[in-house]
Structure 1
Amino acid sequence: MRWVVVVPVKPAAEGKTRLAGSLSAGARERLVRAMALDTIAAASAAEGVERVVVVTADPVLRELLASSTDLVGEPGGGLNAAVGAGIDRARRLDAGVAVLLGDLPALRPADLADALSMAAAHDRAVVADAGGTGTTLLTALPGLALEPRFGAGSAAAHERAGHVRLAVPATSTVRRDVDVADDLAEVERLGVGPATHAVLGLDADPVG
């Protein structure tokens, strides 16, 4: 089955504020962009993914992706509005739509392909983050409506909206997003993509 993957990315200056105690503001900006680049690269390499649509207003990221990625401007109104704009673009193709958050720097293409293969068995599906409460992947089969409900407790909110929670293994890199310092340590242990590795290994500028 073919998929279009929608990746929303906040402007880097607004992202990952919960890492403020661990990284400087400049390092957090670089990290947001680097994680997005690694997530997008892994998604693009996953079997079954026909196209990746990135929704962002970040000018640096847009410049970096301009020649290689289908870009959509962020419409304002928060994450769900941004996801909705990406879904509208993705619907132009006759394919399943998958929303993938852009903070999965350890993502492996094979793990995403496995999750999408599982999702293909359901009209709508959701993959929860490692903690079980957030959403890292949200899917709908071709022609079916997909209404994002990201925010606190989004995994349960998406289940209530008719998405089947997939039994993706806890070890899958699809479930390993980054919000706090412990998450960052975990993805470093798993092995991050090259852009994130460069930021963390060379110029992460710790606070204090």
Structure 2
Amino acid sequence: MRCWAIIPIKGKGEGKTRLAGVLSASERDALVDAMLAHVVQAAGQAGSIERVLLVGPSRHGLDGAIPLLGDPGTGLNTALGAALDTASGGALAAIGAEGPDRVVVIAGDLPCVTALDLDLMAQVPAGTLGIAPDRHGTGTNALSLPLPDASRFIFRFGADSRALHQREAERLGLAVETICSAGLEKDVDEPADLTDAAPVFTPAR
């Protein structure tokens, strides 16, 4: 089985705006970069993941050997849809690789995620879509998509995305498995979440 990881990233200065009251713009940028680097490292260390791809306007200083897929500029869900099309065979020649049997989409703001967490996402049974919810149980921090079964999956990141992604899986006739772990559920959006970022980030002041 070939599994790829796709990690979406925002442009410089666009991330973590809800932390503006407690972190300066430069600190928010440093936090985004630190969490993204951690997620990329964890994906690279996961034995079940063959290739890591980034999706966004820039690579935030990450290794130039990691393919960066273009962002159409019309939002996260559209960008991920384009990346899924690439992974499903729409433009594989651009990155010189045979397509995967499964794609794991991972949020870039998971400072506690481990390679083991991502191996769990990669090892979801065939014909099954895996969903890793956030700490509130309503959002989605990672998705595991079987291919070609989920090649027409429509991403629904935003409010209540967990339920919307489950419905999308059901529309495609896919079974759904929920993967819960501390590493996958702890994203950083609000000031109270910053304690979870301590392993990778320390504010300048």
Class of the TM-score when normalised by the shorter of the 2 chains: 0.7 to 0.9
Q: CA deviation at 1:138?
A: 1.2
**Structure-2 residue corresponding to 1:25:** 25
Distance 1:123 1:181 in 2: 35
- Count of matched residue positions in the alignment of Structure 1 and Structure 2: 190
Distance 1:3 1:109 in 2: 14
User: Share of identical aligned residues, percent?
Assistant: 36
**Structure-2 residue corresponding to 1:182:** 192
Residue correspondence of structure 1 range 80-119 to structure 2 within 5 A: 80-92=77-89, 93-117=99-123, 119=124
**Structure-2 residue corresponding to 1:205:** 204
Superposition misfits of 4+ residues, deviation over 3 angstroms: 163-167
The answer for unaligned runs of 5 or more in structure 2 is: 90-98
**Letter of the aligned partner of 1:56 in structure 2?**
G
- Of 141, 155, 159, 2:162 maps to 155
1:65 aligns with 2:63: yes
**Structure-2 residue corresponding to 1:39:** 39
TM-score by length of 1: 0.83
Distance 2:126 2:197 in 1: 29
For the 8 Å contact 2:19–2:28, the answer to whether it is kept is yes
CA distance change for structure 1 residues 165 and 23 in 2, over 3 Å: closer, same or farther? farther
- Of 143, 146, 156, 1:141 maps to 146
CA distance change for structure 1 residues 64 and 125 in 2, over 3 Å: closer, same or farther? closer
Q: CA deviation at 1:50?
A: 0.8
TM-score by length of 2: 0.84
Secondary structure of the corresponding residue to residue 139 of structure 1: strand
The answer for unaligned runs of 5 or more in structure 1 is: none
Q: CA deviation at 1:122?
A: 4.2
Secondary structure of the corresponding residue to residue 13 of structure 2: helix
| Cα-to-partner distance string for 1:31-75 (whole Å, 9 max, x where unaligned) | 1122111111101111210111101213x61x4331x20111211
Secondary structure of the corresponding residue to residue 35 of structure 2: helix
Higher normalized helix content (fraction of residues): 1
**Structure-1 residue corresponding to 2:130:** 125
**Letter of the aligned partner of 2:195 in structure 1?**
A
